[in-house]
């Protein structure tokens, strides 16, 4: 099954556009092992999400033990729920092939985030895995995104708009999506107009201050789908006590309900 079909199946079954970012920070967690923490979060939320998105940095920072925890975390996620490897990889073609193989073949992610700064050959290796999703960084959620992404290109478009146009051009297999931060709602609206049929991965809700209603309104496609609203810290650290899993579920359920209330009824 392709990533997009797996995503749509899960989103419809769970009535959810919510993605939980599995980004464990020992300083904010209850005093317990990361693997047990991740498993508890998954057990508490798996019927409320459309996907899970581990950020590899939190696992790589722990060395070889962290990669083992990541593999065991992925093994605990139900097989019918898609996983997104948030790695933001991007390098020359030969190295990109190794990155793609690591994320898709070795770790088994259903999708990954990639950095298009080096151009097409840095993305091509990922796109070649036709059944996997490839989320190209377009308009990121961080405050300094404007340093480069707002720069004007020779045709007068901004760099982020050029990335959106290029991604649409590269989308031969229909497996490319874009990463667009909820912290920039007008840019999100613009990108959705450029790429009406693409899947958008939308971080920036919660701790980063993005507006949920705007993210949903501007992020979904014409059918009210193909938007992945990612929330990490707000759910993971809803409580630091022994009730952390119950608190995570309650927060995820509330956010899912808020997302669904922003969706227009289907005709």
Instruction: Tell me which residue of 97, 91, 103, 79 sits closest to 10, measured CA to CA.
Output: 79
The DSSP annotation for 121-144 comes to HHHHHHHTSTTSEEEEEEE-SSGG
Question: Looking only at Cα atoms, what is the longest distance across the chain?
Answer: 56
φ and ψ at residue 228, rounded to 5 degrees: -115, 105
Name every residue whose Cβ is closer than 8 Å to that of residue 60 and which is 6 or more positions away in sequence: 66, 67
CA pseudo-torsion sign 49, 51, 57, 61: positive
Among residues 88, 226, 240, 264, the one annotated as catalytic is 88
Q: Is 166 a known active-site residue? A: no
Closest CA to 123 of 179, 70, 83, 161: 179
Any idea which residues carry the catalytic annotation? 88
């Amino acid at each position: 099954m392709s990533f997009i079909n797996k995503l749509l199946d899960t989103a419809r079954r769970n009535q959810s556009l919510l993605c939980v970012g599995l980004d464990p920070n020992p300083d904010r967690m209850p005093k317990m092992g990361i693997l047990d923490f991740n498993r508890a979060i998954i057990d508490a939320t798996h019927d409320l999400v459309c996907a899970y998105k581990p950020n590899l940095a939190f696992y790589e920072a722990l060395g070889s033990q962290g990669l083992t925890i990541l593999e065991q975390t992925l093994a605990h996620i139900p097989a019918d729920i898609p996983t997104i490897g948030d790695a933001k990889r991007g390098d020359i073609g030969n190295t990109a092939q190794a990155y793609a193989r690591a994320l898709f073949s070795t770790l088994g992610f259903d999708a990954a985030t990639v950095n298009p700064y080096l151009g097409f050959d840095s993305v091509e290796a990922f796109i070649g895995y036709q059944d996997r999703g490839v989320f190209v960084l377009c308009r990121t959620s961080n405050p300094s995104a404007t340093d480069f992404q707002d720069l004007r290109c020779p045709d007068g478009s901004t760099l982020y708009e050029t990335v959106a146009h290029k991604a649409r051009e590269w989308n031969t297999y229909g497996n490319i999506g874009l990463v667009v931060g909820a912290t920039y709602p007008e840019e999100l609206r613009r990108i959705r107009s450029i790429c009406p049929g693409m899947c958008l991965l939308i971080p920036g809700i919660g701790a980063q201050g993005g507006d949920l209603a705007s993210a949903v309104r501007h992020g979904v496609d014409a059918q009210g789908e193909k938007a992945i609203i990612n929330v990490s810290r707000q759910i993971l650290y809803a409580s630091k006590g022994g009730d952390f899993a119950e608190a995570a579920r309650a927060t995820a359920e509330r956010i899912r309900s808020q997302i669904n209330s922003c969706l227009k009824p289907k005709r």
